[in-house]
Chain A
Amino acid sequence: MSKKSFRQAINEALRQEMRRDPTVVLMGEDVAGGQGGSSGVKDAWGGVLGVTKGLLTEFGESRVLDTPISEASYIGAAAGAAATGLRPVAELMFVDFVGCCLDQIMNQAAKFRYMFGGKARTPLVIRAMYGAGFNAAAQHSQALYPLFTHIPGLKVVVPSSPYEAKGLLIEAIRDDDPVIFLENKVMYDDEEDVPDEAYTIPFGEANLTREGSDVTIVAIGRMVGMANEAADRLAKQGISCTVLDPRTTSPLDEQTILECVEDTGRLVVVDESSPRCNMACDISALVAEHAFGALKAPIRRVVPPHTPVPFSTPLEKLYMPSAEKIEAAVKSVMTQKTPEVA
C-alpha cells in the first residue's frame, strides 16, 4: 500500500488488467501520447493529462491504439471489438465529445445484449473526463453522467477518490456490459493510500464516507470530497451528517439511500451536473416516492444553475457547488420544519 494519485490509480488499473488479460486493449485520441512527433519520441505524455503514460512502451502498438480524431469511428470500432471478443477500453478524452458518437453508444453498444436475446456480450469500457473547475469552458466542462444513466443497457461509474477509481475501473474492465467510466479532471492529482495489488469494488453499492444522525448528504464524484469537508465542519457545530457516495449512478444503490434517509429524516443531494433531469432530481424523486413519511424537512438540492459552464474563473466558481453551499443547505434543512399532518 502506498499513496497514489488518481492519475496513477487509473494507470495502474489499466496496466494490471492488461498484464492479466491479453484481450484488454486501449484505443483513443492520444492514448499513446505524442507518438510519431517531430522529435521521434514515442510515448511522450500518454494522453492529454498523462493518464496512459508508459502503457505504449509496455504493451506496444497492437494493444495501445492511437486513433484518428473521429469519435464515431473508434467508439464504434470498440463496440464491435467488444462484441467479437476483446475487452476494449476506449478513451473519449472529454465526455463533451460524446455528441459525435452517441449513436454508437446509445443505439449500438447499449442495445446489443437486449436485442440479441441476451446472447451478445459487450465488455466495453469508455473512459472520459468530466467536470467544471478547470477553466476549460462550456464545451469541455460538462458532467454528463445523467445522460448515460438515462440509457438502459449502460453502467455508469463516477469514482470519488483514487482508491475508488482503481477498484471500480478493474471491475468495469472485467464486467461483460458496456460501462461508462467518468473521471473528474480536477481530481487527477488527489492522493490517498491505494493497494499495490489488483482489487475490485462491486457496482451498485454505495459507500458511506461519514455516518451521522441528522442529515443524509448524497454526493457524486468530486462532490463527495466537498460533502465530507462540509460534514466535518458541521460536526463541530453539533450537526451530524451521513455522506453517501453512490459510486455508480447506474446501477443505483436505492436501498442504502432509502435506509440512510429513514435514519436521518433529512436529505441534501449534491450534483455538479446541470440541474434539470440530473441525479439530484432522480434521487430526490426516489426518496419522495419511497421515504416521504421519514422526511422531517423538504429535500434540498445543491446543483449549478441551468446554464452552460462559464469560462470566467469567478463565474465558474459561482456556478459550482462548494463545501460552503453544502453547509448552508444542510443548515437550512435543519431549521426548516414540515408542518405536522394530522
Chain B
Amino acid sequence: MTYVMTALTMPKFGLAMTEGKLSSWTIAPGGAVREGDEVADIETSKITSGYESPASGVLRRQVALAGETLPVGALLGVVADADVPEAEIDAFIASFRAESTEEGEETAEATSSEPKMVEVGAHRLNVRDVGRGEGPPLLLIHGFGGDLSNWMLNQDVLARHQRVIAFDLPGHGASSKDVGDGSLTFLAEAAAGLLQALDIPKAHVLGHSLGGAVALCLLRDAPDSVVTLTLVAPAGLERAVNVESLKAMVESDRTRDMQQALQALVHDKSLVGRKMADNVLKVRRLDGAREALRTIAATCFANGQQTDDLRPVLDAASVPVRLFWGEEDEILPVAGAKNAPDTVVKYILPEIGHMPQLEKTVEFNRIVEGFLEENA
C-alpha cells in the first residue's frame, strides 16, 4: 500500500532568503490541517509570515523545533492521513533527508535570480528579472522609499508562468541616486527606459503607491508599452497623503524609530520586525539615498498634498485595469478608490493596510495571476 505523505519545508520568501527561522508552530502535532491552512510562522531576515500547508491531512510530525533557523528547503514537518503508520513517517523523513543531501549542491547553484545592474541612460538600475513565458512580461514598480524587496512574496510566485521584472526606482534600493527634479514624469521615463534597455516593447505593468502613479504616467507617456495595468493603493487619485509617516520613513535613523515608521504601512503591526527596519536603514544610509527621497517628496508631496492628479489618465485608459486597496490604509486613504472609473475592477480589502501584496499575499497573487492569464 502506498501512503501519501507531504513534506513541509522551509519556504523561500524572495531572493535574499537563504534560511529562515521557524518562529512557532500554529498547529499541534496530530492536529488536522487543510490545504492553505497556516501551520507555522516563519521569520526571515526581512519579514515574519505565515506558512501555509501545501496539503490536507494531519500534522503527523514536527521535525523542526520552534526557534530553529534552517536553510530554505529544509524539512519542517510531515502532513499525512491519520492512518499512515508511524514507521512509514519515519522512513519518509529518513529518505527526505538522504535526498536533500544529494540535491544540496544543485540548489546552491540555482541563484540566477540575483538582481543585476542595468544601464539606462545615466541611471544604473538594480533589476531582478525572473521567470520565462510567452507573451509580454510583467513589470513591478514599487512605491516611495521602497525597493524590489517589496515584492518578495509576489515576484517568484507570479513568475511561475511568466517573466516578471522588478527594479529599484532611481534614488531607491541599490539603484543610482540621481532623481532629477524628483517628478513622476522623471521616474516614468526611467521605467520606460528600462523596458527599452531590456528590449521589451510591451509589458503588463503593476505599480504600488507612488509606483502606481509612475505606472499611470507610463501609460500616459508611452501608451503603446502598457498591456494591462494593476494599481495597488496608487498615488495620483486623491489629494490626501500621510506626509508625516513618509517623512519618518525617510529620516528615521534608529532601528526603533524606523520600525515604528514602517508599521504605518501595514494593518497587522507585528509584520514589521526589527530586522525589516534594519534592512530599510541599510538602504537609507547609503550616500545620497535620503537626499533623493527628499527631492521626490518635495516635488510629489509639496505642501502636505499630492501634486499630481492622474484621474484623467485613468479615466481615459483603454487597457484593462485592476485596482487593489486596503481599507485600513494609513498612507493613502482608501477613499481614493472611489475616484477610479467603473471600468476598473476594484478589490477593496478589509483589515489590510497600505501593502496588500504583503498582507494579503495569497489572494493578491491569485487575482493578479488570473488577470494576467485572461489578458495573455
- Taking the complex as formed, is B68 at the interface, i.e. its CB lies under 8 A from any CB of chain A? yes
Contact of A199 among B65, B254, B278, B287 (CB under 8 A): B287
Inter-chain contact B274/A238, CB cutoff 8 Å:
no
Q: How many A-B residue pairs have CB under 8 A?
A: 43
Inter-chain contact A236/B65, CB cutoff 8 Å:
yes
- Taking the complex as formed, is A178 at the interface, i.e. its CB lies under 8 A from any CB of chain B? no
- When chains A and B are docked, how far (Å) is the Cα of A333 from the Cα of B70? 25
Inter-chain contact B67/A197, CB cutoff 8 Å:
no
- Taking the complex as formed, is B245 at the interface, i.e. its CB lies under 8 A from any CB of chain A? no
Contact of B69 among A167, A200, A202, A232 (CB under 8 A): A232
Contact of B255 among A1, A205, A238 (CB under 8 A): A205
Q: Annotate A308-324 by CB proximity to B: 1 below 8 A, 0 otherwise.
A: 00000000000000000
Contact of B253 among A202, A211, A235 (CB under 8 A): A202
Q: Annotate A124-150 by CB proximity to B: 1 below 8 A, 0 otherwise.
A: 000000000000000000000000000
Shortest Cβ distance from residue B128 to the other chain A in the assembled complex, whole angstroms: 13
- When chains A and B are docked, how far (Å) is the Cα of A240 from the Cα of B21? 11
Query: Interface size class for chain A?
Result: 20 to 34
Shortest Cβ distance from residue A69 to the other chain B in the assembled complex, whole angstroms: 36
- When chains A and B are docked, how far (Å) is the Cα of A235 from the Cα of B43? 14
Contact of A211 among B66, B274, B282 (CB under 8 A): B274
Inter-chain contact A201/B285, CB cutoff 8 Å:
yes
A interface SS class: loop
Q: Annotate B47-67 by CB proximity to A: 1 below 8 A, 0 otherwise.
A: 000000000000000000111
Within 8 A of A (CB), among B285-338: 285-288
- Taking the complex as formed, is B7 at the interface, i.e. its CB lies under 8 A from any CB of chain A? no
The verdict on A235 contacting B68 (CB below 8 Å), with A195-B174, A197-B286, A199-B285 known, is yes
Inter-chain contact A205/B286, CB cutoff 8 Å:
no
Shortest Cβ distance from residue B287 to the other chain A in the assembled complex, whole angstroms: 4
- When chains A and B are docked, how far (Å) is the Cα of A200 from the Cα of B66? 35
Which residue on chain B has the smallest CB distance to residue A213?
B67
- Chain B residues with CB below 8 A from A167, complex form: 285
- Chain A residues with CB below 8 A from B282, complex form: 195, 199
- Taking the complex as formed, is B275 at the interface, i.e. its CB lies under 8 A from any CB of chain A? yes
- Chain B residues with CB below 8 A from A201, complex form: 285
- Taking the complex as formed, is A73 at the interface, i.e. its CB lies under 8 A from any CB of chain B? no
- Taking the complex as formed, is A212 at the interface, i.e. its CB lies under 8 A from any CB of chain B? yes
Shortest Cβ distance from residue B72 to the other chain A in the assembled complex, whole angstroms: 16
Shortest Cβ distance from residue A255 to the other chain B in the assembled complex, whole angstroms: 9
- Chain B residues with CB below 8 A from A208, complex form: 255, 274, 278
Inter-chain contact A212/B67, CB cutoff 8 Å:
yes
- When chains A and B are docked, how far (Å) is the Cα of A202 from the Cα of B69? 29
- Taking the complex as formed, is A207 at the interface, i.e. its CB lies under 8 A from any CB of chain B? yes
Contact of B285 among A200, A212, A236, A240 (CB under 8 A): A200
- When chains A and B are docked, how far (Å) is the Cα of A238 from the Cα of B67? 7
- Chain A residues with CB below 8 A from B21, complex form: 235
- When chains A and B are docked, how far (Å) is the Cα of A199 from the Cα of B281? 10
- Chain A residues with CB below 8 A from B66, complex form: 238
Shortest Cβ distance from residue B307 to the other chain A in the assembled complex, whole angstroms: 29
- Chain B residues with CB below 8 A from A198, complex form: 286-287
Which residue on chain A has the smallest CB distance to residue B284?
A199
- When chains A and B are docked, how far (Å) is the Cα of A200 from the Cα of B68? 32
- Chain A residues with CB below 8 A from B278, complex form: 207-208
- When chains A and B are docked, how far (Å) is the Cα of A1 from the Cα of B278? 17
Contact of B67 among A1, A207, A235 (CB under 8 A): A235
Which residue on chain B has the smallest CB distance to residue A231?
B69
- When chains A and B are docked, how far (Å) is the Cα of A239 from the Cα of B66? 10
Within 8 A of A (CB), among B251-286: 253-255, 273-275, 278, 282, 285-286
Which residue on chain A has the smallest CB distance to residue B288?
A197
- When chains A and B are docked, how far (Å) is the Cα of A295 from the Cα of B21? 26
- When chains A and B are docked, how far (Å) is the Cα of A239 from the Cα of B174? 36
Q: Annotate A229-259 by CB proximity to B: 1 below 8 A, 0 otherwise.
A: 0001001101110000000000000000000
Shortest Cβ distance from residue A260 to the other chain B in the assembled complex, whole angstroms: 11
Shortest Cβ distance from residue A148 to the other chain B in the assembled complex, whole angstroms: 24
- When chains A and B are docked, how far (Å) is the Cα of A239 from the Cα of B65? 10
- When chains A and B are docked, how far (Å) is the Cα of A94 from the Cα of B69? 37
**Cross-chain pairs A/B with CB under 8 angstroms, 29 sampled:** A195-B174, A195-B286, A197-B174, A197-B287, A197-B288, A199-B282, A199-B286, A200-B287, A201-B285, A202-B253, A202-B254, A205-B255, A207-B278, A208-B255, A208-B274, A211-B273, A211-B274, A211-B275, A232-B69, A235-B21, A235-B65, A235-B67, A235-B68, A235-B69, A236-B68, A238-B65, A238-B67, A239-B67, A240-B67
Instruction: Give residues in B with beta carbon < 8 Å to A.
Output: 21, 65-69, 174, 253-255, 273-275, 278, 282, 285-288
Other 19 A-B pairs with CB < 8 A, given A197-B288, A199-B285, A200-B285: A1-B174, A195-B286, A197-B174, A197-B286, A197-B287, A198-B286, A201-B285, A202-B253, A205-B254, A208-B255, A208-B278, A211-B275, A212-B67, A232-B69, A235-B21, A235-B68, A235-B69, A236-B65, A239-B67
Give 3 closest A-B pairs by Cβ, nearest first.
A198-B287, A240-B67, A199-B285
